[in-house]
Each structure stands twice: as structure tokens, then as C-alpha cells.
Structure 1
């Protein structure tokens, strides 16, 4: 069983969200990926306005509309626009088919302005994917690090947070998030470097490591290789490739009547 935490509509061919979703599923079928989590639309914005958020979320709603058995949507939100983001959370998750939240680079996640979004998502049992990075030449002004996610996670011990990309620079990223026992890492979107998954399993336990590809910018094959080529047990691989994500999503999937 392979469930992919990290999929985008960008970087694949197609003039409509449905066409791009169809392409993603064609590639997924080739690689044995059963289910995809999709977020952000066809035209990205690093600092989205409320209208941008709605447009991108509409793209995802349109993309997953014919494939509820294969694709799950996360709503794209921004802590710069809390009221608009809370409205999108209600529209897309509370009253719609989406099952999680995507937070990117508009505002750092340790800013307390984000707290109403995290609290409401937690009430809905929505999974929250927070992009994190540690760039050698400096992050974007609003881009979060694993250290900042760890600070935010301390304020929200019941939130279903995921440390996206493990900060890119995964060694300090793993260490930064290690003590936040309720926070797993997403391993998608970087080179399939030997030792990454092994260190994550050793330091966090395999139950806190989740496969994702970042398809649209990366390939399924290169990202699956991180897990399939890792020197870990078959049980660890099963957990990372699908069982951990399924366990995290299962409460909200049940609420929405989505059978898996």
C-alpha cells in the first residue's frame, strides 16, 4: 500500500485541473501509488491574497471531484489572512470534501496569528502540512523552519501537524522536531540521499515518518527510492509508504464517509 502525502497540479500537462489530475493518476498507477493528497492549484502564489486562496482551492476541488476514492484535498491557507483562511477552512473542509490544510511561505508558523487556524483545523480532525526549509542562502521572509514548527507545535499538542520536507536539510530538521512526539515528518521534495530515512527511523521511530513525492516538482520514482532503497525493515517501509498517513487521516475520512 502506497499513499502519497505531497502532490501538486503544477508540473504536469493539462489545461484543466481534471486533466492534470488524470495525468497524475496515470503516473501513480505506473508506480503503484494508490492514493494521493493534493494541494495548491495550477497557478501558485507564495504570498496569496484571499482571492488567490479561493482560486487555488477551487482548482483542487475541481481536480478531486471525480476521484474521491483516489485523491484527497488539503485546503491552502495563509496566516496573513486569518478570517479569509477560516472561511476557506469551513468551505472546503467543514462543509466540503477536503481533509487537511496546507501552509506554505506567506508567514512564519511560530507567529501566534496562525493559532486560530490551527485550533479550528484541530477541531475538525484535519491534518496540517506545514512547509519547512533551511536554505543555505536564507529562507523567504515568511518561510518556516523545523525549529519554528517545533515552537508552534508546543502550543498545539493535539494538532495533527506534519513537518513538510523535514526542513530540506534533514539532519538538523529531524533533531529540531524530535521532542515533539505528536509531529511526524514528510520526506518528499528533496534528493533521494542515502541515510535520510535511516536517520529518521532511528531518531523518530518509523511511525513518525511519512512518504510523499512532491510530484509536480519531483518524480514518484526518485522519492519512492528514498524508502525502498533504505536500510530499514519491511515493517518500517510499510508504515512509511502508507500506513502512517492512513492512520493520521482515518478519523476525518470516517467523518466524511470516505471508505478506504
Structure 2
């Protein structure tokens, strides 16, 4: 497989040092070495990871993503970072980078739970533009935050907005409980990121959701793309299902993403 699509990776300086000081170039070269053709990237802060970014923080983060995409247009695709705490600024960023720019989706992190109705103005605009939402979710017993979404919150959002296409992040953080939460909602897919490879994790998600509802995501640079790929390549999936997970589902979800 030489054309996999990594549907979940990050830029910014809030991560521990990786290969070099040029994270965008490192993502591109590491992905190429691993057989990944395209990587979808968002920036959660230019100097640190910002759980509650302000309008200026959002603009700076998305400009960093835009600059990286402009450098590597055939290898990187942008996902715009928004915050429902700042709806006007977020709508402006959505229009700037999606309606009037090349970005292919939206990223929401931990500023607000996914079941909060204050997301609705952003969701309405996402649906108008036809772009999906990459929503962070995790079941945590320690180190969680009050505004961090669980898979149950994502299921609530999907139930309220059945036309919104949602990529729920972190199969490794959702576990079997999270898979069960989202199973009734066909507008949700789950990505394979979150934690180290666990035997049977991807196989279980495919068995419960169908191969069309699981997409490959590494969460790089938090996880090396090669380690993340091991979750899928070490599964018992058929070649057809493996290709759906590694490539075809991302193209179907991110309709603005070029298949080249």
C-alpha cells in the first residue's frame, strides 16, 4: 500500500521534539516512508496546545496550517481548528479556509463538549459547505477535563444533526464502549488513533460498525505513523476492508480531498 490517507495528524510547536524543527517536512517525509500519500493536518496552537483558544489564537493556528499546505499541496490537506466558545471568529475562520480556501474539514478539540447546543451555528455552516467534523473524544478515568467530549457526547451530536458527517477521533480512547455508543449513528466514523496498537481493536470496530465506518488516523506526531499503521496492517481484515480503512473511506468522508 503506497497511497494510504492519514486522516488525523497535527502541526504546531506544542508537541515534544520530533525529527527536526520542521514538523511539516517531517510529517511529509515520514508519511512517504510509511506508504502514506496524503496527511490531513490541523494546528491546536502555535506555541502550545490550546484547549480554549481565543480568536487570535485560532487565526494564528490556521495560518500555520495554511502555510504548510501551501508548501506541500500534494501531500498535506488542511483541517481548520475552531472553538464554539468564539462562534463569530470560528465562522470567519471556516469561511476563510474552507468556503474561500482549500481546507477539507473542521477540527474541534476540548473547548466544549460535543453535545452542547452552542455548537449548532458552526454545524449548520459545516453542513452548508459539505465538510466533515473531526471531533476529539475519549473515555478517561484520569487527566480528563470538564469540557472534554466522550463518545456518548459525539453520539448525541450525531443524533441532533444526522446530516453532519463526523469523524470521531481515537478508537484507542473510545474502546468497545465508545464503539457501542456510536454504532446506531451511520453519520459517525471512528479513526484508528489513540494509544498503542491493541490486538483485535480494529477488527472489533469493523465487525461492529462495518468497514466503511473506520478510517486510518495516526495522531502524529503524538504517535509515529508507522506505529499507527500497525493497528490496521496487523489486523485480520480482508484486503478490501483494509483498503477501505486506509484510503477509500477518507476519500468518501472528505469530499474535497483529491484522490490523486
Deviation by residue 1:34-74 (Cα, 9 ceiling, x = unmatched): 00000015432111111111111011001110222211100
Note if 1:26 corresponds to 2:21: no
Q: TM-score, normalised by structure 1?
A: 0.93
2:46–2:60 CA contact under 8 A, matched in 1? no
Note if 1:38 corresponds to 2:41: yes
- Aligned pairs (5 A) from 1:54-65: 54-65=59-70
- Aligned pairs (5 A) from 1:110-259: 110-137=115-142, 139-166=144-171, 168-250=173-255, 252-253=256-257, 258=258
Deviates more, 1:209-218 or 1:37-46: 37-46
Q: Alignment partner for residue 9 of structure 1, among 8, 11, 20? A: 11
Note if 1:86 corresponds to 2:91: yes
2:38–2:75 CA contact under 8 A, matched in 1? yes
1:146–1:167 CA contact under 8 A, matched in 2? no
Deviation by residue 1:161-212 (Cα, 9 ceiling, x = unmatched): 1111137041101000000011110111221001110110110000000001
Deviating above 4 A after TM superposition, structure 1's stretches of 4 or more consecutive aligned residues are: none
Distance between the aligned counterparts of 1:189 and 1:147, measured in 2? Answer: 17
Please, which runs of 5 or more residues in structure 2 have no aligned partner?
Answer: none
Shift of 1:113: 0.4
2:172–2:194 CA contact under 8 A, matched in 1? no
Distance between the aligned counterparts of 2:65 and 2:53, measured in 1? Answer: 16
Distance between the aligned counterparts of 1:95 and 1:163, measured in 2? Answer: 25
Q: Is the partner of 1:8 in helix, strand or coil?
A: strand
Shift of 1:115: 0.6
Note if 1:100 corresponds to 2:91: no
Deviates more, 1:43-52 or 1:56-65: 43-52
Deviates more, 1:162-171 or 1:105-114: 162-171
Q: Is the partner of 2:169 in helix, strand or coil?
A: strand
Please, which runs of 5 or more residues in structure 1 have no aligned partner?
Answer: none
Distance between the aligned counterparts of 1:49 and 1:196, measured in 2? Answer: 36
1:197–1:227 CA contact under 8 A, matched in 2? yes
Number of equivalent positions: 252
Distance between the aligned counterparts of 1:93 and 1:34, measured in 2? Answer: 22
